[in-house]
Amino acid sequence: MGNPKISVIIPVYNTEEYVAQAVESIMQQTLEDIEIILINDGSTDRSQEIMEGLAREDHRIQVYNQENQGQSVARNHGVEYASGTYLYFMDSDDLLEPDALEICFNKCESNKLDFVFFDASILQSKGQINMGLNYSRTEATDERQVYTGPEVLNILLSRHVYSASPCLSVIRADFFNNIPLDFYPGIIHEDELFTFKLYLCAERTMAIHRAFFIRRIRQNSTMTQMFRWKNMRGYLTVAEEIRKLRKGASKQIKRTIDFFLTQMLNAAMWKGHMLSKTKRIYLFHICMTQYRRYITTRTLMTLLFKSYIPIKRN
């Protein structure tokens, strides 16, 4: 028997309430020739028990354990076990439409793509604040057109519809391994670096105008927690790693890098007004000495002087 068509890699950390639904949405894919790699990142709830129960139901499921080292390390370990022609990174609290992997596989194969990307919809938990997220690239792209990664990246950035979630792409494993590409360990917002490099290196990519991925917005997730210094440290690490890519790059790629850093750093520094006064002054110094070319005066004034009033949650 040959290698599976797609390896689905799912890091799991204390999502006992959602992990069964997430994995079952992969088990029920119309594309059956897949493997499902679950990496238990040191969960302390019933996640491990639930994963092992699912593995007994479906021979395609592999369960591996590691000490808690974070999502990046878990995903990287998952890649080490993967043998599929393509890779897909799934989160353990979200869902995937049943025909997603089959359509993505067929589109990649028929067009010899490095990766294919698609949209997402939002599953709002009861009482959760609407975060105004938008995962639709339908109006910005032509799903009949083959793009280079930098070409479509510039389009998405210019239309303000770029998303860093790796859960919105199915990636050819050979391309992934040849870049090489991995998830930066020890930080949050590592997706910003991973997905940017994915687009920057791709020669052939296409869009699918379907919201295959269903993102669950829930309390106490990385996305919904209050902005803290660890968030900013993640963004600053991403910025520094991306700046390294400018060295030796063509003028066109440098412009793409600058375009991305301008958007990401302005968004991050605007959120910086939620930090302590000491941290805000420290960030202002970093902006002025390292990233002034990317950050607007308005953002700098917001960082220094905007008062933060926490939103009360019911």
Q: Structural domains in the chain?
A: 6-217 (3.90.550.10), 229-305 (no CATH)
**Of 114, 158, 118, which Cα lies nearest the Cα of 138?**
118
Question: Radius of gyration over alpha carbons of the chain, in Å?
Answer: 20
Which tens digit of pLDDT belongs to each residue from 178-233? 999 999 999 999 999 999 999 999 999 999 999 999 999 866 655 556 899 999 99
| DSSP structural state of residue 168 | G
Instruction: Specify the pLDDT at position 126.
Output: 56
Residues 123, 45 contacting (CB under 8 angstroms): no
Q: Check whether 268 has a pLDDT greater than 50.
A: yes
Tell me, what's the pLDDT at 314? Answer: 43
Rounded-to-integer distance, Cα 90 and Cα 94, Å: 8
**DSSP-derived 3-state class of residue 118:** strand
| pLDDT confidence of residue 285 | 97
pLDDT band at 80 (very low <50, low <70, confident <90, very high): very high
Question: 18-76, pLDDT tens digit by residue?
Answer: 999 999 999 999 999 999 999 999 999 999 999 999 999 999 999 999 999 999 999 99
pLDDT at position 130 over 60: no
* Per-residue confidence (pLDDT) for residue 132, from 0 to 100: 57
Q: Which helix (H) or strand (E) holds 186?
A: none
